[in-house]
Amino acid sequence: MTTRNIRVEMLRTTPVEKQRIEIVERKGLGHPDSLCDGIAEAISVALSREYKKKCGIVLHHNTDKTLIVAGSSAPKFGGGEVISPIHVVVAGRAIKEYEGMDFATDTVALRATKDYLRRTVRNLDVESHVVVDCKLGKGSADLIEVCRLKDEMPYANDTSFGVAHAPLSETEKIVLNAERRVMQELREKEKAIGEDMKVMGVRDGDKICLTVADAIVSRYVDDYDHYMEIKSLLTEFVKDVAQEFTEKEVNVAVNTGDTPQAVYITVTGTSAEMGDDGCAGRGNRCNGLITPNRPISMEAASGKNPINHTGKIYNLLANKIANEIVERVAGIEEVYIKILSQIGHRIDEPQVASAQIVPSSDSNFNAIENAVRKIIDENLAEIGKISEMIIEGKLSTF
Amino acid sequence: MTTRNIRVEMLRTTPVEKQRIEIVERKGLGHPDSLCDGIAEAISVALSREYKKKCGIVLHHNTDKTLIVAGSSAPKFGGGEVISPIHVVVAGRAIKEYEGMDFATDTVALRATKDYLRRTVRNLDVESHVVVDCKLGKGSADLIEVCRLKDEMPYANDTSFGVAHAPLSETEKIVLNAERRVMQELREKEKAIGEDMKVMGVRDGDKICLTVADAIVSRYVDDYDHYMEIKSLLTEFVKDVAQEFTEKEVNVAVNTGDTPQAVYITVTGTSAEMGDDGCAGRGNRCNGLITPNRPISMEAASGKNPINHTGKIYNLLANKIANEIVERVAGIEEVYIKILSQIGHRIDEPQVASAQIVPSSDSNFNAIENAVRKIIDENLAEIGKISEMIIEGKLSTF
Amino acid sequence: MTTRNIRVEMLRTTPVEKQRIEIVERKGLGHPDSLCDGIAEAISVALSREYKKKCGIVLHHNTDKTLIVAGSSAPKFGGGEVISPIHVVVAGRAIKEYEGMDFATDTVALRATKDYLRRTVRNLDVESHVVVDCKLGKGSADLIEVCRLKDEMPYANDTSFGVAHAPLSETEKIVLNAERRVMQELREKEKAIGEDMKVMGVRDGDKICLTVADAIVSRYVDDYDHYMEIKSLLTEFVKDVAQEFTEKEVNVAVNTGDTPQAVYITVTGTSAEMGDDGCAGRGNRCNGLITPNRPISMEAASGKNPINHTGKIYNLLANKIANEIVERVAGIEEVYIKILSQIGHRIDEPQVASAQIVPSSDSNFNAIENAVRKIIDENLAEIGKISEMIIEGKLSTF
Amino acid sequence: MTTRNIRVEMLRTTPVEKQRIEIVERKGLGHPDSLCDGIAEAISVALSREYKKKCGIVLHHNTDKTLIVAGSSAPKFGGGEVISPIHVVVAGRAIKEYEGMDFATDTVALRATKDYLRRTVRNLDVESHVVVDCKLGKGSADLIEVCRLKDEMPYANDTSFGVAHAPLSETEKIVLNAERRVMQELREKEKAIGEDMKVMGVRDGDKICLTVADAIVSRYVDDYDHYMEIKSLLTEFVKDVAQEFTEKEVNVAVNTGDTPQAVYITVTGTSAEMGDDGCAGRGNRCNGLITPNRPISMEAASGKNPINHTGKIYNLLANKIANEIVERVAGIEEVYIKILSQIGHRIDEPQVASAQIVPSSDSNFNAIENAVRKIIDENLAEIGKISEMIIEGKLSTF
C-alpha cells in the first residue's frame, strides 16, 4: 500500500434500482451538444497526435469549448435543403510554438472537426452545410510550462474532480443501449434514421417509459404514411432492445410532438440544421448518460488535454475504477467514486480518492474495503494508461 | 388535492453531512463560465421585458448558449494592459417577427451583455477589452407557436427535468457564502479583489479545506509584498466567514499555484482576459453550487425562456419547493426533489414530481408525506410566479 | 437613331502610347484582391443560376464585399505548412425569400466560394487551409422590388457609371498577357509557379521595365539553387511574351525583394496564406488591368448582380463598346467611353453615354462620330446580352 | 538638383473643364465605404501613436482592409429602431511584439474604431448598433523588419504608385464642397440631415446636374410633409453652394428614388444600418473625389502605415505636389503627377516621379519644367513631413 489518500466508506442507502422514481437521459451522437463534445474530443486527439509526431510529447491544450450555432433548413418529404449553414465555433487553447517549432493547431483543428462531422452525420454535406470557425488561443504562459516531460508523472493543472458510479441500473442500460443499437443496427437498414436521437427514460416503480426523439432524414421518407411506418419500426426496435435488459413493463413513444401537419424531419439528420444550438460539456457524462439520481461531475471531459487535466482524466479513471470494483469485488450493490486533484501536485497522488460502497445485505465490509482500496491504488499507479487510451481513441468521453 | 402525478418516497441513506468525504465548488460571478451564465440570463430577462413592452406577452427565446473566448493580457504590479480582447459569442434563438412587429433582438442582446459585464466586472473596459458577437437565430417554426398566450397555462417546450435538494450542508453554506461575502464586503474595502473567485471545498470527516483562487487586480497591487498582504487578508476573511457556519476545523489556501516569480494577477479581475474560456451552463447549478455528492440536473437554467422552458423553470421551482419543505415540515433531514416535464403538456402538470425524504430518526413519515405533497401541489399550481420572479430579476440561476 | 443621350466628342490629346511615362499593373488570379473578386463573382453567378432554376428570374443580390484575412504559414523548401487558416468573409445581400420560396443563399455561396478557390489555387487545401464565413444579409426592402421581371427592361438600381478605353497600349498588352500566359503555359510545365503573380509595368519612353512577384510553391523547390533556376525560367518566359507585343527594350525582374536568406516561397501559391489580406473591388478593372494613365471607374464589377446593377453592367458594356469601336471604325487612335445611369430609369437609357475620340491625324471626324454613335446605340439596345454572358461565365470582371 | 528620376513632360490635351462630359462623385463621411476608410485610417493613426509612445518609432502595420456588413433597421417618422447591428470587421496586420514589448493592437484598434464611429455618425449608438470584430494579424516576418529606425529614410515596402492632379475643375469643387458644407453648416441647423450623403455630379457642356442622396434621420422628421420640407431645404442649400463655384446652370435632385410610400429615412443617418455594405479603399481617392475623367490610383491610402507604404505616402505626396505646382507656377492649365516606388529602395528616391503639364496657350514650357522639377525634388527631400502630418491627423485620405 502507498501513502495515497484513499478513503473507503460504507454508505447505507436505498440503491437507485429500488428507489421509486428514476430519470435517465442520453443525447445521441448527432445531438448538437454531443456533436460539440465529439468535435472537442476529436480535436484534442488530433492535436495530441500532432504534438507527439513533431516533438515526442503532448503539449498543453484544452479544446473543450466548442459551440454550435444552429442553421436553418427546409426539409420536405423526398428532399429538402439546408438554407443557412450550421456555424461551429471551436474555442480553447493550444500551444502554437515550442522550442522553435510551429504547430499548425488551427489547421489540425479544422481538419479534425470536419472529419468528425463527416463520419458522424452521414447526410451532412460538411463543405456547404457547415461553417467552422477556429478561435484557438495560445493559453496562459504558466500552463504552457506544465506540459508533459517524457518520463515524469504530470502535475495537475487545476483543482477539479472526477465522479462515477457502477453498476448501471436497468434503466440506465436501456437508455444507453437503445441509442447505440439504433445507430449500429437499425440505421444500417433504415436510412431515414437520423443520428440526432435523444432518449429520456423514466422509471416509476416497475414501469419504464422511454421518450425518444429522432431527427428523421427527409430525403428517405416518401410521405406521411411512410414517416409513420418508420416511427413504428423505431418504436418496436427500441422496445426490443429494452426488453433485453429488463422484465419490467416498457413503453416507448417516438417524436411525441408530431402532428399530421408537422413532423420531425430534417435534411441532415441533426436538429442543429434548424434551431438547436449546442455546447460542449452540456450533455452526457463520461458513461454516456445524464443521471439526476446519481452524483455527477460538471467537468467537461471532452476536449481537455489527456495528460494533466484532471477534470478529464479523473472522470474517466473514476469510471474505470467503479466498473472494476463491481466486476472484481463481491458483495457490492453500488459503488460511488470521487477523485479530487490538487493543482500543482502529481496526478497519481490526488488530494483524496473516495469510494462509497453500498453493500449487499450479507457482505463483509472489511474485505470489501481492502479490495476496493487496492483497486483504486493500482489504478492511480497506472494512471498514465488512461492518457494513452484517450490518445488512441479507445475511451469515449460522452 | 389535484390529480398531479406527485410521488413522495422515503429514502434511507446516510445524509451528506454524515458522509466521510464531501466536495463542493462555487465559481464566482467573474469566472468565465459564470460570466456566460450571467450574460445568458441577462439577455433572456431583457428580451422578456422587450417582448412584454411591445406585445404584452413573452415570446419564445432561448439564449443559453453563450461562449467566452479568452483574450490575452499583460498584467503587472501597478498597471498592465489587455492585449487582445475577450470574445463573447452570444448564441441562441429569439423570435424576431410577430404579428407584423419587428423585435430588435440583437440590439437588445448586445446592450444587455455589455450592461451585465460592466456592472459585474468593475475593472473591465467593456468597449475596448471585449468584442461581443451576436448570433441569435430565429428558432424553428414549431417552437415559435408555443409562445405564451395571455391567460393560459403554457405548454412544456421539451421533455426535461429539474432537480434540487435542501437543506445545504455546512460545507455548502461555507462555499456559497465565502464567495458572496468577499464580493459584498471585502471587495468594497480592498479594490484588488477580482470578481473571478473560485472556491473548492473538501470536507474529509471533521476537517474542511477551502482552496480559493482569486484573480487579483494588478493595478491596485504595488509589489510582491503587497500582493502577499492581500492574500493574507483574503485568507483570514474567508476563514472568518467559514467559522460562522461550522465548528469544524477549517483550512483556507488562496492562489496555491503562486510562486514569487509568477502570481495570479490580472488587469481586469477575470481570468477570461488571458486564457480561460467559458461556456454557459457549465458552472454552478441554480443553488449557486456544484455538488458532486448530490443529484443534479445538467440543464442550463440561465438564458432559457422563463415561460415554458421546463429545464429552467423546474430547476428553480424544485429549489423553491425543497427549501419550503425543510422550512415548513418538521422531521426532515434531507429532501431531494425531481420534476420531469412532458413536451406539449401544461407545465403545471409534470410527467412526475418526486420528493425523496431522508427523515430524522424519530419522524412520522405519513404526516411528512401529506405535508410535502401539499407543498409540491401548491407550488405547481402557482408555477406562473416563478416566471414573474425571473423576469423581475428576483431569482438567481447560478 | 433613338433618343438615347449619346455624346461623341473629339479629344485632342497625346495618346498614352506617346506619353513619356506609362504605368500598368495586373494582380494575377491568386493575388488576395483578385481572389476576392473571383469569389464575389463566382457567388453572383451561382446565385443567378440558382434563382433562375427555382423561379425563372434572377433576383436581387450584390455580393461584391468579400474580404480575405490572411493566415500564417511556415513554407520551406520541399514542404511547409499552413499554420493558421486564411479567413474569407463573404458579405453582401441576396434575396432569401420570394413568393413563398426559400433560397439557400448561404449554402450556395459557401459552395461557390470553395469551388472557386479549389480550381484557382491548386495547392490550397480548401478544407483545412481556409475558413469561409458567410454574412449575406437580406437587402433593403426597396431594392428587393427592383428584381427582374421576365421580359421587361430592368431599371437601374443606383446612379453609377462605367468607364473603358481601347485599344490597349503595348505595355498594357504585355502586362495582361504576361500573367495569363504564365498561368496557361508555364505553370503546366513548372509546378512551382504560384497563382499569386503580380506584374507592374513601367514604360519610360522606349524602355519597358516589368517587376514581377510570384509566390513560388515551396514543396516543388528543392533548395536555393533550384529556386534561382525557377526564377530564371520565369524571367525568360515573361521576356519572351513581352517581345511578342513590342519592339521596345524590355527588362524583367522577378521577386526583387529576395535575399539568399529570405526568398518568396509559399505553401499554397498565394500570399494570402501569410500576411496579405484582400478585398473585392480593389484590384484590376474589368479589362484585367490597373491603369493610372487612363480614366477608370471605382465600381467593383465583381459580385454585383448582372441584371440591373449598372456599376457592373456599364463597365462591361463600356469595354465591349470601346473594343468594337476600334475594331469597326477606322481613323481612331484611342477611344474613351463613359456611361452613367440614373437610378430608377431603364438601363438601356442611361443619363448619358459619352465617347471621347482621339482621332488619327488624317481622319474624318464626322464619319467617325456617326459610326461610333451607332455602335453605342446598338449596344445599349442589346444590353440584355451582357447579363446573359455574365451568367454564362463568358465575361471576366477582373 | 539631385539625381532623382524626375520626368516632366508637356501634355497637349483638352483640359477636363473643356471636355463635353465630366462625371464627379463623392461619398460623404457616413457612406459605408467612407466609414471603412475612416476607421482604417483612425486605427493606423492610433497605432502609430501607440508605437511611438511605447518605443519611440512607428512599427509596421497596415489596417486598410476594413469591412462593414450592413445591419437591418426599421426607421419610421419620429423614431424607429436598429433591428440587427452593423458588423464591422477590422482586418490587416500590425506588429504585436517588438524587443520584448507587447502591443495591445486589438484593444487600440477597437477603441479607435468606436471613437471614430461615435464622432462621425451622431445618431449611431455604437454600443448597441454596432459589433466590431478585430482580425488584425501579425504580418509576415520580412515586412516586420522594414519598420522605421529613428533617423533613417525608410525603404518602400512595395512597388506601388501615387497619382494626383490639380487644379480641381468647377464640378469637382462643387461636389467636394457640397457635401462638406452640408455637414459643417446645414447639419448644425437641421438635425435630420444624415451623415451618409452621396453626391454625383455630371456636367454636360454648360449644364451641371447634381444627384444627391442623403440618409435622413427619421426621429427628427414628423411626417411626409416635414420630410419634403427637409428635402427642399437641402436642395436649396446645395444649389447655393454650387453657385459659389460656377456660373453654369446647376440642377440639384435629392433622394430621387423616393415615392410617397417609401422615402429614404434611417434611424442612424447611415445606410449601413439597413443593407449597404462597405469596404475600405473603394470610395473617394485622397482628394476626396472619384473622378473617372482623371487618372487615379487604385491604392487605398486609408489605413496603410504612414512610414514606408508608398501606396499611401505617394498618393498624399502627389496631391501636395500637384497643388503646389498650380499655386506656385504660372502658365499651367492642368498638372498630372505620378510617383512609382521600387520595393526595398529609399522612399525619397522613387523609381520615377512624373509630371504631365497641360500648359496655357502662351506659356514657356522650359521655365515651367524647371520650376516643376524643383517642387517635386523638394517635396521628395522632405517626404518625412507627410508621415508626420498623417500621424498628427492633418491629412485626409478620403
Span D60-86, pLDDT tens digits: 999 999 999 999 999 999 999 999 999
Give the pLDDT confidence score for residue A149 in this predicted structure.
46
| A23 contacts on B by Cβ (under 8 Å) | 161, 338, 340
User: pLDDT tens across C357-375, in order?
Assistant: 999 988 888 999 999 999 9
For residue B140, is pLDDT > 60? no
Domain hosting residue A266, numbered range = 16-28+170-279
Closest listed residue to residue A211, CA positions, set B155, B311, B5, B341: B341
C104 — contact with chain A (CB < 8 Å)? Answer: yes
Give the pLDDT confidence score for residue B149 in this predicted structure.
46
For residue D137, is it within any domain? no
Mutate to test the interface with A, among C86, C106, C125 (most CBs of A within 10 A): C106
Instruction: Note whether A15 and A333 are within 8 A (CB).
Output: yes
For residue A148, is pLDDT > 70? no
User: pLDDT tens across C254-283, in order?
Assistant: 999 899 999 999 999 999 999 899 999 999
Q: How many CB pairs under 8 A join A and B?
A: 203
Q: How far apart are CA D178 and CA D181, in angstroms?
A: 5
Q: How far apart are CA D362 and CA A18, in angstroms?
A: 112
D288 — contact with chain C (CB < 8 Å)? Answer: no
Question: What is the grid cell recorded at B316?
Answer: 428553480
Q: Phi and psi of A338, rounded to 5°? A: -135, 135
Is this complex's ipTM strictly greater than 0.90?
yes
Instruction: Note whether B67 and B278 are within 8 A (CB).
Output: yes
Can you give the pTM of this predicted structure? 0.94
For residue B141, is pLDDT > 90? no
User: pLDDT tens across D152-183, in order?
Assistant: 789 998 888 999 999 999 999 999 999 999 99
Model confidence band, residue A139 (pLDDT cutoffs 50, 70, 90): low
Model confidence band, residue B47 (pLDDT cutoffs 50, 70, 90): very high
Q: Phi and psi of C6, rounded to 5°? A: -105, 130
For residue A146, is pLDDT > 60? no
Q: Is D61 helix (H, G, I), strand (E, B) or coil?
A: strand
Is C352–D202 a contact, with Cβ atoms under 8 angstroms apart? Answer: yes
DSSP state of B294: S
For residue B284, is pLDDT > 90? yes
Q: How many CB pairs under 8 A join C and D?
A: 202
Q: How far apart are CA D123 and CA D145, in angstroms?
A: 42
Q: How far apart are CA C386 and CA C379, in angstroms?
A: 9
Q: How far apart are CA D60 and CA A332, in angstroms?
A: 69
For residue A198, is it within any domain? yes
Taking phi over 0 as left and psi of -120 to 50 as alpha, with beta for the rest, B139 belongs to left
User: Which residue in chain C has the smallest CA separation from A82?
Assistant: C104
Question: What is the grid cell recorded at D122?
Answer: 451622431
Q: Please, what is the average pLDDT of chain C?
A: 94
For residue C349, is pLDDT > 90? yes
For residue C1, is pLDDT > 60? no
Q: How far apart are CA A14 and CA B13, in angstroms?
A: 6
Closest listed residue to residue D83, CA positions, set B104, B94, B101: B104
Q: How far apart are CA D60 and CA D341, in angstroms?
A: 18
D129 — contact with chain B (CB < 8 Å)? Answer: yes
Better-scored residue on pLDDT, A344 or B115: B115
SS (H, E, C) A110-121: HHHHHHHHHHHC
Q: Is D214 helix (H, G, I), strand (E, B) or coil?
A: strand
How far C126 CA sits from the closest chain A CA (Å)? 9
Give the pLDDT confidence score for residue B151 in this predicted structure.
56
User: Which residue in chain D has the smallest CA separation from B87?
Assistant: D133
Please report the DSSP string for D242-294 in residue order.
HHHH-SSEEEEEESTT--SS---EESSSSGGGGT--EETTSS--TTS-B-TTS
Q: How far apart are CA A347 and CA A154, in angstroms?
A: 6
Q: How far apart are CA B364 and CA C121, in angstroms?
A: 80
| A74 contacts on C by Cβ (under 8 Å) | 102, 104
Q: Phi and psi of B264, rounded to 5°? A: -90, 85
Model confidence band, residue D363 (pLDDT cutoffs 50, 70, 90): confident
Is D134–B131 a contact, with Cβ atoms under 8 angstroms apart? Answer: yes
Instruction: Note whether A306 and A147 are within 8 A (CB).
Output: no
For residue A152, is it within any domain? no
Tell me the residue type at A221: V
Give the pLDDT confidence score for residue A89 in this predicted structure.
97
B133 — contact with chain D (CB < 8 Å)? Answer: yes
DSSP state of B77: T
Give the pLDDT confidence score for residue D342 in this predicted structure.
87
For residue A363, is it within any domain? no
Q: How far apart are CA A205 and CA A208, in angstroms?
A: 8
For residue D147, is pLDDT > 80? no
Closest listed residue to residue A62, CA positions, set A235, A300, A297: A300
Q: How far is CA B37 from the centre of its chain?
A: 7
For residue A151, is pLDDT > 90? no
User: pLDDT tens across C223-240, in order?
Assistant: 999 999 999 999 999 999
Q: Are strands A72-76 and A97-98 parallel, antiparallel or unpaired?
A: unpaired
For residue C12, is pLDDT > 50? yes
- Domain count for chain C, please give it: 1
User: pLDDT tens across B200-259, in order?
Assistant: 999 999 999 999 999 999 999 999 999 999 999 999 999 999 999 999 999 999 999 899
Q: What percent of chain A has pLDDT over 90?
A: 87
How far C150 CA sits from the closest chain D CA (Å)? 22
User: pLDDT tens across C119-134, in order?
Assistant: 999 999 999 999 999 9
Q: Kind and range of the H or E element at A70?
A: none
Q: How far apart are CA C309 and CA C307, in angstroms?
A: 6
Instruction: Note whether B347 and B156 are within 8 A (CB).
Output: yes
For residue B48, is it within any domain? no
Instruction: Note whether B256 and A343 are within 8 A (CB).
Output: yes
Facing C211 at nearest CB: one of D159, D274, D275: D159
For residue B147, is pLDDT > 80? no
Sign of the torsion angle spanned by Cα atoms B321, B324, B326, B332: negative
For residue A194, is it within any domain? yes
Give the pLDDT confidence score for residue C149 in this predicted structure.
47
Count Cα atoms within 13 angstroms, Cβ side, for C249: 5
Q: How many beta carbons lie within 10 A of that of residue A386, not counting itself?
A: 23
Is A114–C128 a contact, with Cβ atoms under 8 angstroms apart? Answer: yes
For residue B193, is it within any domain? yes
Sign of the torsion angle spanned by Cα atoms D355, D361, D364, D368: negative
Identify the residue whose cell numbers are 468521453: A397
CATH of the domain at B242: 3.30.300.340
Give the pLDDT confidence score for residue D350 in this predicted structure.
96
How far D28 CA sits from the closest chain C CA (Å)? 15
Instruction: Note whether B297 and B334 are within 8 A (CB).
Output: no
For residue C150, is it within any domain? no
Q: How far apart are CA C33 and CA C66, in angstroms?
A: 9
Q: Phi and psi of D101, rounded to 5°? A: -95, 140
The length of chain D in residues reads 398
Facing B111 at nearest CB: one of D107, D110, D128: D128
Q: Do chains B and A touch (3 or more CB pairs under 8 A)?
A: yes
User: pLDDT tens across B152-168, in order?
Assistant: 789 998 888 999 999 99
How far D273 CA sits from the closest chain B CA (Å)? 12
Model confidence band, residue D294 (pLDDT cutoffs 50, 70, 90): very high
Q: Kind and range of the H or E element at C25?
A: strand C21-27
Preceding amide of D154 cis, omega within 30: no
Distances (CA, A) of A320 to A162, A317, B317, D183, D185: 11, 5, 35, 72, 77
Give the pLDDT confidence score for residue A158 in this predicted structure.
85
User: Which residue in chain D has the smallest CA separation from B81?
Assistant: D104
Residues contacting residue D269 through CB under 8 Å, at least 6 positions apart: D30, D121, D122, D123, D124, D193, D194, D195, D196, D215, D217
Give the pLDDT confidence score for residue C147 in this predicted structure.
52
User: pLDDT tens across B199-211, in order?
Assistant: 999 999 999 999 9
